[in-house]
Structure 1
């Protein structure tokens, strides 16, 4: 059993508390939050107001679900105490802080993971499995749309570091390469100094073209990832955890004008059936297994750092406009 502590019992922390209490091989032995357990997420579990006291309780690993500005100081405390850590995304407030975390955990041989939960969505897990099996052939383009209303709980970062990092991370994971180039446009509408709309185009090191639409300004919530390849296109909806394949076919269209418009031949459309476990449970199990068995299914601190660097490029390589 891994003795785990949870730091932060807010909107995300309460879900971590629920999952950690259900996960085999894990014992949630203590929690910490200066505001207390306002959601009643960990009844009967020792509650501390500071991280040092939590560490003093005796833990092997910790889940850090605190505001982004606290990721580095809390993470460094854990590293110095020899505690494995799962840190919610983004890895830190800026890439310099992220680099310090990477170095601290690496120097001590500790497992460090970042909570990019979209990688563990069943639709994207199934998509990745099928891509790795060669069902799509050569990957040509990855496009994402992540749009919805502004969440009042987000106060410390803009949409690039909050929502955008999901898509930047999953794109590098699916594409099997890191970003070579990023260009973007942003807009600030809701809060001064915090971008809440971005449009990004990029290219991965292996030549895959990417584009991403992300905002907090749409009344329509959508979470869609489309991967186009030689054999067709996969469309993953991570709100419903559905995966659909639009196949390039071999049936020629007899209507000449329609054939010219389509560009490629039309094939079958298939929506797959597959198991759909809760992403947070899959993510926490991967962290557990990395500690116990050295498996590689986590989003590493190095992965999280590169994702944050990409998000910084999104913000810094454009002129921010205020409509």
Structure 2
């Protein structure tokens, strides 16, 4: 029998969790500070509507997905894990490293699952890219850069960096396997005092370099992660159709009489089995709740993401 899951937060992304958990046969209840909104989803999805304050006291709930404004995540997670509930917390899990550490520490003390909603870690194209890297297909990774650009999602609490970068940082950390030694950020606030553009430059152990560019004021949509290795380069482009989402470029670069030369080759597209990342993420969470195995996207990784965001944040007047 599937664990019984409640979703706290019935906004845009919470509603996606609600509908996906319903399809997986695990949705037991929905909850929101707006009781009418929760009742509407409960009627639509044929589940319970429970007040947020009641979730921690319910014996019929095994775990809770938190899809709230990030300033509320940490305290809600602490209350739930102390009540014996496992949690999946959407990104970012907090707005400060200290709050994130309190929440993750509480889960560890209470022996509860604490998973973070870095959903692109469960994208089939990224999973395939990671397997290519681990198998040595690209050689030694030397440089990683990601672009996450588009128009919209203007939050009052989060700038372009905090809203858009966590997914890419999670993927970069999964590839490098370590936190960066150095982080440098640049931002530009166009509309108000929150950055609408942001760059992060990172230096990792072993000389690996990383660069991330996010924008919410861009005329076109871009979702691209590029990994440069000593044998080949790979690009995960989520805007492309499935048959072209993962490309490998086997360019050749060498020195000839003291001069650099290169041969540019056409990309080869890697076959990727189609699958919805959110569905795969929630299936993984349900499995962790059942088996008690540690999740792929841990609280400790999310703390590292927050440390990078904090180090790269540029304040504006």
Q: TM-score surpassing 0.5?
A: yes
Q: What aligned pairs does 1:234-273 form with structure 2 within 5 A after superposition? A: 234-240=234-240, 242-249=245-252, 263-273=261-271
Aligned to 1:292: 290
Q: CA deviation at 1:53?
A: 4.3
TM-score, with structure 2 as normaliser: 0.90
The secondary structure found in structure 1 opposite 2:167 is helix
Match status 1:76 vs 2:74: no
Q: Is the 1:227–1:233 Cα contact (8 Å) retained in structure 2?
A: yes
Aligned to 2:280: 282
Q: What aligned pairs does 1:297-316 form with structure 2 within 5 A after superposition? A: 297-315=295-313
Q: Is the 2:227–2:234 Cα contact (8 Å) retained in structure 1?
A: yes
Aligned to 2:6: 5
Q: Is the 1:86–1:114 Cα contact (8 Å) retained in structure 2?
A: yes
Q: Within 1, Cα distance between the matches of 2:13 and 2:197? A: 23
Deviations 1:10-61 (Å, cap 9, x if unpaired)?
10011101111122xx521111012246495442211123242464262111
Q: What aligned pairs does 1:87-98 form with structure 2 within 5 A after superposition? A: 87-98=89-100
TM-score, with structure 1 as normaliser: 0.89
Q: Is the 1:30–1:54 Cα contact (8 Å) retained in structure 2?
A: no
Q: Tell me whether 36-45 or 304-313 shows the greater mean CA deviation.
A: 36-45
Q: Within 1, Cα distance between the matches of 2:145 and 2:107? A: 33
Q: What aligned pairs does 1:16-165 form with structure 2 within 5 A after superposition? A: 16-23=17-24, 27-36=26-35, 38=37, 40-42=40-42, 43=44, 44-53=46-55, 55-56=57-58, 58-152=60-154, 154-165=155-166
In structure 2, do the counterparts of structure 1 residues 37 and 6 end up closer, same or farther at CA, with 3 Å as the change threshold? Answer: farther
Deviations 1:129-186 (Å, cap 9, x if unpaired)?
111111111000000111111214x222112211012222211112222111111211
The secondary structure found in structure 2 opposite 1:161 is helix
Deviations 1:195-253 (Å, cap 9, x if unpaired)?
22111111123421001111111011101000000111000112335000001349x9x
Q: Within 1, Cα distance between the matches of 2:171 and 2:57? A: 32
Q: CA deviation at 1:266?
A: 3.2
| Structure 1 unaligned spans of 5+ | none
Task: State the aligned residue count.
Answer: 309
Q: Within 1, Cα distance between the matches of 2:33 and 2:304? A: 31
Q: How large is the Cα RMSD of the aligned pairs?
A: 2.3
Greater helix content: 2
Q: Within 1, Cα distance between the matches of 2:31 and 2:316? A: 40
